[in-house]
Structure 1
């Protein structure tokens, strides 16, 4: 199940708060535990110091009974306290008998603990020797206090810390969810505006004036995508109209000529002429369909598969020879400058160069010279065709390689070409990992493409 951004942020707030509170709780628990242990140690040492003089002042068997009475009274007044006096002389003993294990946990000197029957928690102990005096030998005085109050205090504090951590994490989650919802309101507004967009309102844009910088960048990127989409949609509409126009002319010719032919009896010669005329329009239709299929292959990312290492100038020369009769008819000359070696698919490369040369011939004045430049560049080979003439306005240069695009809006000359020549040049360049370009300055127009070196 996918969670909303608000819920994810709330969950992250909860986790972060839980971790932070848990770390603080562990630190506070450790601090309290050390303080309670220090408090117990101080109390044990203070009580041992208080009971030691009683033993010191009674150094014979007769007065030892006073020690027992004093210790009994002290224990009865404070049932948390326990006392033991251990000695090698059985006359100078005090306290309940202990097992070997209990003596071991109490320790001979210093701090220890002992678990006695009837107690829920161990007794913390402090043991130290009281030096011999008079008839009394050296004895080991042990003071014990019940740790149950300290254990209960620590347990209650631990439960409180756990509850505080859980409640704090849940509170942070709730507060985080509220903050996230408030913070996401501008994004919700953007979503509402985006849902209101439609193909009929492609000129609309998201409002970015009141947005935070992060969302403003996102909205600007989205608006940029909308602008590109609007341009592509407009180009698609123009493309559809151009396709319809290009197909309508030969189809109209076919239908009209066929209707005229069938309007009355025709001789075999007249029928043959009609079929020849129809064949020309059918060939034109086939050329349009084949070119569009080729462009569709390039759009799918197809690359030139059958590449060979060749001389670019030599391949250009082959294309020039193929169009030689067109150059002679137009009264223009072609010159090739430069050379380079590149891995290309020769059939596709010649097709692109042929299209560039045909385009140059159509716009070059009689007697002009067309120059094909081959230039080695870092990582690419640049092939350009330059011709002189009337030139091309700057606003048309960026669209020369669009399908069916013509500088002349009247579409004159559509009988000889159908507006896909330069689009095929771009497709060939793309299939060879290159790009296209067009420049026009001072009556000289240069159009070309690059291939990866």
Structure 2
């Protein structure tokens, strides 16, 4: 099955049309059955009413006026006039006295079934009759007689069949009409969806800023369009971030690679002494180390993006781990002319190596941006179901629109990328990744020359 056929099979319009048709079929079936039962009851009532009326008329005529053979002869003539030539109505009078008989009895092989209340259905070669019978008492010379009035049911059966056929035709026609109307209504109702599809088809990476118009839409589609436009906005942001990330990666790798290539070309341009070659190799080694650091950090972030969680969790004092990392940075702290103060403590389960990497990045960032003779403060406190670690330094304030982006990869507040030789812009992104690996979050604030950056670790977090 090709894609077009698959789409057609699962068409909403077709489903709605089928549902309309099934609903119409159900309604028409119930209605048709009710009408069928009603017409059967009414036809039978009319049949019984006519038989009863004719029986009572003849019975009254015999009881009141017929009490001898002479008058019976007059009755025979009268009844002959009343009976139609087509045999749709028959009158039968049976008696022990042959002089007081009327009509031709039914054949002995006729099939007789009782319908109740003295009514019988008699099926003969000439047709089907509904009959009503009753005995009339003797009067004068007339003995007791047994009167039977028969009504040909064929006409009523034909009428019933005609009505049933009309109901079936109306049923089929109604289902077809409702299905057609259902298809038209569905297509009209889904016109807005088709319009959305046409707008969506025009979307491409070349016009990521375009959105699906939300005006003049049915209420049911408002939330869908808003959600879709929200998804488009997130895709645009991700696409822009990816483009920026690629540009940043190219920039970060281009500088050391350019240095390596340039220095190597200069060295190869003429003969060099061993001292000169050694100096160049040492410089190249520094650039290679920088490349390796960038690549390792990018690989770490890629693993974090795949949802890897912190392992090797140990119950540890956070203050002691911060102190270990600070001792590693003693020389940098001394060169920057700043001091370090650790406030508070909390025990929680952490991966020591990952935590050390995160706090080292925060301390290194604070050292780079601190004023001389200022104090870097590391504040540790236990919040609700988490431990928060905040590193604060005195220096230039960070504008509010930069704070939300500090943890993006390769993002720098200084657009000129100053001091890029010492930092490649992945430090805070790694802090964010490590916080997430411990089930925590990151935060940043800057006010009146004090910038605070930190992260949380979920208390008793278990990977």
Instruction: Work out whether the TM-score is over 0.5.
Output: yes
1:81 corresponds to 2:89: yes
CA–CA separation in structure 2 for the residues paired with 1:351 and 1:73: 121
CA, structure 1 residues 106+279, in 2 after alignment: closer, same or farther (shift >3 Å)?
Answer: same
1:2 corresponds to 2:11: no
1:332 touches 1:370 (CA, 8 Å); kept in 2? yes
CA–CA separation in structure 2 for the residues paired with 1:318 and 1:334: 13
CA–CA separation in structure 2 for the residues paired with 1:133 and 1:379: 112
Q: In the alignment, which residue of structure 2 is the partner of 1:27?
A: 34
Q: In the alignment, which residue of structure 2 is the partner of 1:246?
A: 252
Report SS of the residue matched to 1:209. coil
1:96 corresponds to 2:102: no
Report SS of the residue matched to 2:20. helix
Q: CA deviation at 1:109?
A: 4.0
Which of residues 52, 61, 79 in structure 1 aligns to 2:59? Answer: 52
- 1:179-204 CA-to-partner distances (Å, cap 9, x unmatched) read 44344444434333333333222233
CA, structure 1 residues 39+49, in 2 after alignment: closer, same or farther (shift >3 Å)?
Answer: same
Q: How does 1:349-360 map to 2 (within 5 A)?
A: 349-360=355-366
1:319 touches 1:350 (CA, 8 Å); kept in 2? yes
CA–CA separation in structure 2 for the residues paired with 1:319 and 1:62: 141
Report SS of the residue matched to 1:333. strand
Query: Please, which moves more after superposition, 62-71 or 345-354?
Result: 62-71
1:337 corresponds to 2:344: yes
Q: In the alignment, which residue of structure 2 is the partner of 1:149?
A: 155
Q: In the alignment, which residue of structure 2 is the partner of 1:114?
A: 122
CA, structure 1 residues 34+348, in 2 after alignment: closer, same or farther (shift >3 Å)?
Answer: farther
2:110 touches 2:123 (CA, 8 Å); kept in 1? no
Q: CA deviation at 1:288?
A: 0.9
CA–CA separation in structure 1 for the residues paired with 2:193 and 2:14: 15
Which of residues 439, 445, 453 in structure 2 aligns to 1:439? Answer: 445
Q: CA deviation at 1:250?
A: 0.9
Q: In the alignment, which residue of structure 1 is the partner of 2:422?
A: 416
Which of residues 198, 222, 228 in structure 1 aligns to 2:234? Answer: 228
1:39 corresponds to 2:51: no
Q: CA deviation at 1:322?
A: 3.8
Q: CA deviation at 1:407?
A: 0.3
1:332 touches 1:361 (CA, 8 Å); kept in 2? no
2:444 touches 2:452 (CA, 8 Å); kept in 1? yes
CA–CA separation in structure 2 for the residues paired with 1:303 and 1:12: 49
Q: In the alignment, which residue of structure 2 is the partner of 1:173?
A: 179
2:91 touches 2:147 (CA, 8 Å); kept in 1? yes
Structure 2: gaps of 5 or more residues: 1-5
CA–CA separation in structure 2 for the residues paired with 1:321 and 1:142: 125
Q: CA deviation at 1:39?
A: 1.5
CA, structure 1 residues 53+231, in 2 after alignment: closer, same or farther (shift >3 Å)?
Answer: same
Query: Please, which moves more after superposition, 297-306 or 239-248?
Result: 297-306
Q: How many residues align?
A: 448
CA–CA separation in structure 2 for the residues paired with 1:194 and 1:247: 37
Q: Name the TM-score, length of structure 1 as normaliser.
A: 0.85
CA–CA separation in structure 1 for the residues paired with 2:376 and 2:93: 122
CA, structure 1 residues 114+217, in 2 after alignment: closer, same or farther (shift >3 Å)?
Answer: same
- 1:327-359 CA-to-partner distances (Å, cap 9, x unmatched) read 3443221313242534x4333233222222222
CA–CA separation in structure 1 for the residues paired with 2:409 and 2:297: 10
CA–CA separation in structure 2 for the residues paired with 1:82 and 1:320: 123
1:371 corresponds to 2:380: no
CA, structure 1 residues 106+216, in 2 after alignment: closer, same or farther (shift >3 Å)?
Answer: closer
Q: In the alignment, which residue of structure 1 is the partner of 2:307?
A: 301
- Once superposed, what is the RMSD of the aligned Cα atoms? 3.2
Report SS of the residue matched to 1:211. coil
2:119 touches 2:131 (CA, 8 Å); kept in 1? yes
Q: In the alignment, which residue of structure 1 is the partner of 2:3?
A: none
1:355 touches 1:422 (CA, 8 Å); kept in 2? yes
2:39 touches 2:160 (CA, 8 Å); kept in 1? yes
1:201 corresponds to 2:207: yes
1:237 corresponds to 2:243: yes
CA–CA separation in structure 2 for the residues paired with 1:107 and 1:10: 46
Q: Name the TM-score, length of structure 2 as normaliser.
A: 0.84
CA–CA separation in structure 1 for the residues paired with 2:141 and 2:316: 121
Q: In the alignment, which residue of structure 1 is the partner of 2:168?
A: 162
